[in-house]
Amino acid sequence: MAFDKTNKGTLRKNDKRTEDWHPHYRGDLNVEGAEYWLDATLKEWPDGTKYMSLKLRPKSPATDNMPRVNAPPSKPARPVAKPDHAPIDDEIPF
C-alpha cells in the first residue's frame, strides 16, 4: 500500500543557509493533491514575540531541478513594436 501524503508535508532545517535572508527551514507540502515548496523563517516582533514566517511556492517540472532562491522572479521584457510606416506629423500648420 502506497503512502498517502495528501494534505501532509515536511519541514527540515536548511543546512545550506549561507545568507541572512535564506529561510531557516525548507520542505514540501501537499494541499488537496497539489505539490508546493515550503520555506519557514524565524522572526521576532518588536515586543519580543517569536514566530515563523511561511512561504509557499508551487512545484513545477521547470522549477524542480532549479536552485531554490528567495529572489523575486524577474519579469520578461516586453517586445518593442516597430512602426511599419513613417511617423505621423501631428503639428497643425496654422
Q: What is the pLDDT of residues 76-88, one digit of tens each?
A: 666 666 666 666 6
Q: Is the pLDDT of residue 19 over 80?
A: yes
pLDDT score, position 53: 96
Q: Domain-by-domain residue ranges, the chain?
A: 9-61
pLDDT score, position 91: 74
C-alpha closest to that of 16 among 71, 73, 68: 68
pTM above 0.75, yes or no: no
Are the C-beta atoms of 31 and 2 separated by less than 8 Å?
no
pLDDT score, position 8: 95
DSSP E strands in 1-94: the ranges are 9-13, 25-31, 34-44, 50-58
Q: Model confidence at 11, in pLDDT bands (50, 70, 90)?
A: very high
Percentage of the chain modeled with pLDDT above 70: 65
